[in-house]
Chains A and B, each alone.
Chain A
Amino acid sequence: MALLEIKDLHTFFDTKKGTVKAVNGVSYSVDAGKTLGVVGESGSGKSVSAMSILRLLDNNGRVDSGEIIFDGKNIQDCTKKEMYKIRGNDISVIFQEPMTSLNPVFTIERQLSEPFIIHQGMKKKEARKKVVEMLAAVKIPNPESVAKQYPHQLSGGMRQRVMIAIALACQPKLLIADEPTTALDVTIQAQILKLMNELKKEKGTSILFITHDLGVINEMADDVAVMYCGQVVEMAPARKIFTKQKYSHPYTEGLMESIPRLDTPTGVRLEAIPGAVPHPLDLPKGCKFAPRCKYATDKCREEEPALVKIEENHQIRCFYPDKEMRKDGK
């Protein structure tokens, strides 16, 4: 059963120049104990869709319509107070920038004991014990002394470990990881990814993993949602996305071909997707990807395709999902 289900979510931002439809009809679900990877370019709405769940939007943002069902309950109906109880307890977040997401004027201990005190009603002393336990769980060497330190005394990788410890403090059912390793070096990234996978196995936490790095998605995710211009364009198990399949969305296909991989022979030109992501205030009519799509027809430019189930566990938003047919120009 799905732990989190988002149905036809629309999140808009009101700006001086008009309404930005950052998330425009997104539906996805995260199964219990599984990881859903959300991948897309900047501005595709992957972070906004996740932040809408916890109502962590900027002041000018609002969820226009759609349902967010968490653990069988529509959390859109929750009051502010009820949301406080969910945040950090049932659902918690790891942000991208470990530098700015920790408070620089409080010690690690103080910040990490907060969820225990607020959500589990612990006394400070008890919480302190738990803090050391948590720091040890995320494999920080000498947790006792690190607990007394301030964020600036730790390296980027260590800070991200602390963030993970805070997020996992109350054993949440769902963990939202918003580009948790983007700011880190590859060797540190490998450490953090391994840690997250271990903790997931141990505690059975579901993860909503947001990133633009397809390689990271492959290491982490069970299912993948590919987003483009505020919409999900393809959704399938990771295996289907990363292996050659009969059906795929042209955007996914382009992404896979355009990244240089370790096995890409040198000297062969990369298949680049031409053009750039359209401006959110000036979205094209019809299929949002049509202006950059090499297979686009007049139909694509006029009508907007719906997210259609092509086969079991595989949804694509394209009129021509069949790769072979597309190439023949039908």
Chain B
Amino acid sequence: MENKKDKKVLLRISNLKQYFEVKKTSMFQKEQLYVKANDGISLDIYEGETFGLVGESGCGKSTFGRSLLQLYKQTDGRTMYYGRPLDEIAPRYMEETLKNLPAKMKALEAHQAKVELLQKEYDNLKTDEEKYTMHGKLKEAKKIANDAFLDIAQVIGGFYISKDLGKVSATFLKEYHANVALCIAKEELRKLESEFEAIKAEKEEKKVSKSEIDAALAKNKAKVDAAKKDVETKQEIFNAAKQEIDAMKKDYAGNAEFDKYETYLDEGVDLARLTEEEIRRLRKDLQLIFQDPYSSLNPRMSVGQIIGEGLNAHKVFHKNKDKMQDYIMQVMEDCGLAPYMVHRYPHQFSGGQRQRIGIARSLALKPKFVVCDEAVSALDVSIQSQIINLLLDLKEKENLTYLFISHDLSVIKYISDRIGVMYLGNMVELATTTDLFAAPMHPYTEALLSAIPTTDVDDKKETILIEGDIPSPIKPPTGCKFHTRCQYCTDICKKVVPEFEEVTPGHFVACHHKRNVVESK
């Protein structure tokens, strides 16, 4: 796809792993077993698109959605989020990297040396069998080295080649601390301003005289002004720190190597490494719509409270109740709920309306990215289409990005721009909706597509049946995980894990025999 480069990446997930520990069956069991719910998933999600995720139950699609939002702490991998400028978040892990820069550099060198050693050993191996066992080790070592490298390069960019790491570390730290101070000052100002507005609105409502209002506000006004000044001074310090870095860059002007590493600078925030408080602040941007509208709403809270909970938690309308109430009404109207419903409780609603409440709750915070986890699966057919239409309308209006998880291929096809097919914790195929349905390349996708019952009476297509059930994710099959049920399976499938590679532009497949699948059509 050519236009892919124009689109802005919102989330870049690389090698996401989510393992759950399995309880040991006896005290003598030595080996700790894991349910490998997600086993190394990499993909980009672009801003404004709907990414559909399909697969059978137990393939890890819901886990993936939740790990993305860090509702489960992901075991391994990077989840870079580009929805906000890095300066606004100023994550703690950056400080940590900057502080220990020399030590980290040393560790990186050790990793790289190890990779080189392994690579030499690998090149000297003769039989394929040996090579294969070695390959896994080599890959793992490369991955660790690469991660360590990215940790550093993403933060300091071109200064990676600098000899005087101590100075780089000190300068960057200075900038970082200035930035953090600025963020805090800004937040304080926002809070005071909002408080100021609230007091003003309250007094005006009580119809007290103008002089009284002014008296009450004078104190707050002084506070706001002080905060404003504070922000200004902090901003200056921050700018000065930035200029210092720019000055350092001048030494490297025209240095090709410096420019090469400078491109590694990353404006994204790695969600997986944020502290709990940091991710909590980001939750505003990252929301979830649940499958079951019955159990996902608190039965003891009224609709207004449910929708307002997030607004309160994030102090969007700081102490300004009237404004918040108006806003809740606005959100309810957008989601097709009547204003009189605001004081009702969840049990008074039908399934479709409850799902609307769930949608209103997640959209109230004006998120950028929403995970819809089987959002329409529990609804009746006639209600399902209402909710799908609503989701599409809201997406258009708010420029949302969806990760739409469903097992229903017809719905996925209708709603998604791109589709990822998952099997047993891995992504097996990823393509645009048209490509995927026109020319599926993975045998599993092919079978999945043919298994959907259609309402077309003249449909004569042969259903490709996959025999058997999904294997256990605790002990997944070796090699290609699908080989136990695959009709094209050969020896290589049983031994070698297929790479997830781009076959045609934008069309990724993990299969040894993908071309066979196309040819057999």
Instruction: Give chain A's interface residues, CB within 8 Å of chain B.
Output: 41-42, 141, 155, 157-158, 185-191, 193-194, 212-216, 218-219, 238-239, 242-243, 254-256, 258-264, 266, 269-274, 276-277
Contact = CB atoms under 8 A, between A and B. Distances in A.
A24 to B, nearest CB: 19
B506 interface: no
A21 to B, nearest CB: 19
Contacts, number: 124
B463 interface: yes
A260 B451 contact: no
27 contacts: A42-B380, A141-B468, A158-B469, A186-B56, A186-B409, A186-B452, A188-B469, A189-B453, A190-B450, A194-B465, A215-B452, A215-B453, A218-B457, A259-B384, A259-B410, A260-B388, A260-B410, A261-B454, A261-B456, A262-B409, A263-B456, A264-B414, A269-B389, A270-B385, A270-B414, A272-B385, A273-B385
Nearest to A258: B385
A189 B407 CA distance: 12
Nearest to B353: A276
Contacts of A254: 382
B410 A261 contact: yes
B491 to A, nearest CB: 23
A250 to B, nearest CB: 12
Interface of B: 56-57, 350, 352-353, 380-386, 388-389, 392, 407, 409-411, 413-415, 433, 437, 447-448, 450-457, 463, 465-470
B311 to A, nearest CB: 28
Given A194-B465, A266-B415, 13 more contacts: A41-B382, A155-B469, A186-B451, A188-B56, A191-B467, A194-B463, A214-B381, A218-B456, A238-B457, A254-B382, A261-B410, A261-B455, A270-B388
Contacts of A215: 410, 452-455
A1 B350 CA distance: 42
A189 B386 CA distance: 26
A180 to B, nearest CB: 13
Contacts of A141: 468
A77 to B, nearest CB: 36
Contacts of A264: 410, 413-414
A212 B381 contact: yes
A190 B414 contact: no
A8 B299 CA distance: 40
Contacts of B454: 215, 218, 261-262
Contacts of B383: 41, 276
Nearest to B467: A191
Nearest to A264: B414
B413 A255 contact: no
Contacts of A270: 385, 388-389, 414
A213 B380 CA distance: 10
A136 to B, nearest CB: 15
Nearest to B378: A42
B411 A260 contact: yes
**Most-contacted residue by chain A among B455, B463, B466, B467 (CB, 10 A):** B455
B410 A262 contact: yes
Contacts of B389: 269-270, 272
Nearest to A154: B469
**Most-contacted residue by chain A among B353, B382, B385, B433 (CB, 10 A):** B382
Contact of B381 (A194, A239, A258): A258
A210 to B, nearest CB: 14
B56 A266 contact: no
A307 B500 CA distance: 57
A190 B463 contact: yes
B47 to A, nearest CB: 19
Contacts of B57: 185
Contacts of B384: 258-259
A270 B414 CA distance: 9
B451 A212 contact: no
Contact of B455 (A187, A193, A214, A276): A214
